[in-house]
Amino acid sequence: MIIDRPQWKLAIEVHPADWKFPAGSTWLAGWLWSPQKRVTTDLRAWVDGRCFLANWGLPKPGLDEVYLQRPGPPYLGFTLLLEPHAGASLLRIEGRDQSNRWTEMFRTRITVAPEAPGCPPPRDFPGLLPAQLNPLLQLQVRRPSVPLPALADEIISGAIAEPRDSLPNPPFFGALEAPREIGWVRFGRLSITGWLAHRERRITRLTAMVDPLQEGTLLHGLSRNDVADGEFSHLVGGESSAFVGHVDLPADTAVPVLLKLFAELDNGEKHFVFGRRFTPRLLAGAETSLPVRSLRTFVQAARALRASARRHGLPGGNWSALQPALRQAWQVFATEAPPKPGRARLAPEPAPPRDPSAPLRVLVVTHNLNFEGAPWFIFELAQHLARQPGISVRILSPQEGPMRRVFMDAGMSVNLVDIAPVLAAKSAAEFSAGLATASATLSWKETDLVVANTMVSFWAVHAARAAGKPVALYVHESSAIRRFFKQDCAAALFPLIEDGFRLADRVVFTADSSRRVFALLGARGNFALLPSWVDADRVDAFAAAHDPATLRRKHGLDPDAVLVVNIGSVCERKGQHVFIQAVELLKEELARTYPGKKIQFLMVGARPGLFLETLKEELARLNLGTLACFLPETGEIFDFYHLADIFVCTSFEESFPRVLLESAAFRKLIVSTDVNGIAEMLGPGDAWLVPAGDRYRLAAALKEALTAHFTGDRTRPERARATVLRKYHQTQSLPRHMRLLRAIAERRT
């Protein structure tokens, strides 16, 4: 059966004869294609008022090539497992496209065997409300032009849908261990783990998809001793059947999301092995914000959801059932929604110190000693303090790292403290006891002021307060406390982390966007907003003393190539996976546009780990080895600013990244995401700014930056340098930090 519509061609190849359904489960299967090049992003069937979700986007060898002129993706196939209830009379099939619009493609009258189970009772609205109100409001923020009732229908239909997960069928055996009902997402990537083996053949490749246009490879073949023993010992490669990896999650993916895994065998066959519907939960990365906390907004959303529930035939619930659901929904909304602007007042800047040369012993606590932005920030601040008359500086860190040598070469002592038991505490009492033990060895009598770097160092605020010492907390994060610490600390510690903000004499932010994330904790008036800085004199001296071609040879790079350099620790937050995807989009076009030109894309900041391994595999799979490469983390970061032609930042989350300040001071063409404090630092006249995670917009910006490079257009680099020097020159910024810290030490705050 083929249904032809202007937008869609739907073929239902498997269905019951005359649409007479037996009792129990029945499969529908077929394929779906759009003559207008629309992309399927979901597929569902309605049996009367019940919604069944399909496994869509499955390979259809032969047909994919005919209609797409390539093997795919996107893939055309689908399967639908239905279990109609006795008395059901109408079947409808709907598809969703990339514009988030559902279109009915097919409907027919059906009959169902009378011995089939009856219709299950619908979910009641009070039970749905607390979990669905915030997602509705976030959806409204993302799509403000769509009427609220239509968005509510999308939320309710997704909540009542009946997913049908697909598990491996023999001769495949395995388990998809993550995601389950909830999928944890970090910076646009979903984590995937499990195991898979075949009874007779070797699995050569395992891939995963959420985005219908992008298929990613998982790392398969890892050790799995429990599979090699017992009932699965007969499987080929069972001892190395584990898989791990990530898949990109598009920002506006419909909930519940469909994850598909495909296995390729050594005989060339490709099989659909896992299908799982899940609800994503963000662990880290940019999240659609809620609207400002408002009772009116809350009531409008609750009413829209209740009206939609009625349209879907759900019981609305009486007042006694609805009242506690409304209270719970309000608590969730009020906890996560930002307050109205102006609630948290900034502290005034202090007057100059009474005695600028008075002795001052400063203990700087930094969360680690890695070559990262936050340790470099605190190093430059500590170095500035140590150069002032009467000030001595000591460094304390819970982790060892290469920055130890940098601090020591600048004349500062560095000590380590073990706070692992403190952060692993399961209660406030356990935290306090562990902190007392960890801080007992510290020289509090030789300390006049504590400076804690990053909110990971919140424990230092508590330790300083217990010792009666004034303390400043520098916060570089732009992620809410409960989400940032969710995987690393027990929930019992969250109030103590929040107390760190309240107890500090000053909480210092360099970006107002970061301050707003923590606005609820600033009611004491102890928040300070001070600009970061760039050492322009050092930048200019370095540029004058070093030749870019010589630096390229020093690091084994082609002195004649155009170098597009992405600097930052290789991790999900920095978005190197999006950078690679953008390079893949540009690969053929750049070869045509600039024939004979060498263009190379560098990622500086590689550190060993699973994420790096998956990125290397992706480079190999996309055949980008001659275009893109990784270089390790380094303390010689100025080398790479100076040798670069174009600087790129692809971060999902940044407070006020110093790499952008310094690349602007080096007069580089800049392409960057516009997250958090970046938009406060540079404008569209200074750099090409793009949304985080958008490989298409990133590729377009890179193309424009390359055009500017080849045509000699230096407008943006010169504007960027002028902007950062006007606003963030060290001679203006560092004295303000110095005055604040002196005032805290003198107890004048």
Tell me what the mean pLDDT of segment 23-49 comes to. Answer: 94
Is residue 298 domain-resident?
A: yes
Which of 86, 120, 154 is where one domain is finished? 120
What sign results for the dihedral spanned by CA atoms 157, 159, 161, 165? positive
Provide DSSP, 291-314: PPP-HHHHHHHHHHHHHHHHHTT-
Tell me what the mean pLDDT of segment 212-240 comes to. Answer: 88
Q: Which one-letter DSSP state was computed for residue 210?
A: S
Residue 626 or 51, more confident: 51
Residues 602, 498: one domain? no
Tell me what the mean pLDDT of segment 111-120 comes to. Answer: 96
Residue 58 to residue 259: CA distance in whole angstroms: 11
- Model pLDDT, residue 341: 59
> What domain count does the chain have?
4
> Is the pLDDT assigned to residue 289 strictly greater than 80?
no
Structure token pair of residue 95: 């598809």
| Residue 221, φ and ψ in degrees, nearest 5 | 110, 15
Structure token pair of residue 617: 């595999």
Structure token pair of residue 197: 């083996």
Tell me what the mean pLDDT of segment 16-21 comes to. Answer: 97
CATH number for the domain that contains residue 556: 3.40.50.2000
- Model pLDDT, residue 164: 86
CA 307 → CA 146, 291, 310, 330, distances in Å? 16, 21, 5, 18
Is residue 132 domain-resident?
A: yes
Is residue 350 domain-resident?
A: no
Express each pLDDT in 296-313 by its tens digit: 999 999 999 999 999 999
CATH number for the domain that contains residue 181: 2.60.40.650
Residue 45 to residue 63: CA distance in whole angstroms: 23
Residues 682, 646: one domain? yes
Q: C-alpha angle with apex 146: 335 to 308, nearest 5 degrees?
A: 70
> Is the pLDDT assigned to residue 343 strictly greater than 60?
no
Residue 5 or 704, more confident: 704
Residues 518, 552: one domain? no
Are the beta carbons of 737 and 621 closer than 8 angstroms?
Answer: no
Structure token pair of residue 620: 């190999």
Neighbours of 441 (CB within 10 A): 9
Residues 73, 158: one domain? no
Residues 501, 372: one domain? yes
Q: C-alpha angle with apex 724: 718 to 726, nearest 5 degrees?
A: 95
Are the beta carbons of 657 and 482 closer than 8 angstroms?
Answer: no
- Model pLDDT, residue 727: 92
Tell me what the mean pLDDT of segment 266-279 comes to. Answer: 95
Are the beta carbons of 651 and 573 closer than 8 angstroms?
Answer: yes
Express each pLDDT in 229-248 by its tens digit: 778 888 999 999 999 988 88
Q: What is the CA radius of gyration of the chain?
A: 29
Residue 210 to residue 278: CA distance in whole angstroms: 11
Residue 194 or 610, more confident: 194
Residue 163 pLDDT level (bands cut at 50, 70, 90): confident
Label residue 669 exposed, middle or buried (CB < 10 Å: 0-12, 13-18, 19+).
Answer: buried
Q: Where are the alpha helices (DSSP H) in 399-535?
A: 403-409, 420-423, 428-439, 458-466, 481-484, 494-503, 512-517
Structure token pair of residue 613: 């391994």
Residues 71, 128: one domain? no
Which of 98, 120, 142 is where one domain is finished? 120
Average pLDDT, the chain: 92
Is residue 529 domain-resident?
A: yes
Tell me what the mean pLDDT of segment 571-582 comes to. Answer: 91
Residues 286, 155: one domain? yes
> Is the pLDDT assigned to residue 287 strictly greater than 70?
no
Among 219-228, 563-572, 604-613, 641-650, name the most confident range: 641-650
Residues 561, 505: one domain? no
98, 94, 101: which is closest to 78 by C-alpha? 94
Residues 188, 333: one domain? yes
Q: Quote the domain boundaries for residue 569.
A: 536-728
Residue 368 to residue 457: CA distance in whole angstroms: 9
* Residues forming beta bridges with residue 670, ordered by sequence position: 647
Rounded to two decimals, what is the model's pTM? 0.72
Percent of the chain residues past pLDDT 90, beyond the cut: 72
> Is the pLDDT assigned to residue 288 strictly greater than 90?
no
Residue 479 to residue 651: CA distance in whole angstroms: 13
Tell me what the mean pLDDT of segment 450-476 comes to. Answer: 96
Residues 577, 668: one domain? yes
Residues 647, 544: one domain? yes
Percent of the chain residues past pLDDT 70, beyond the cut: 99
Residues 114, 132: one domain? no
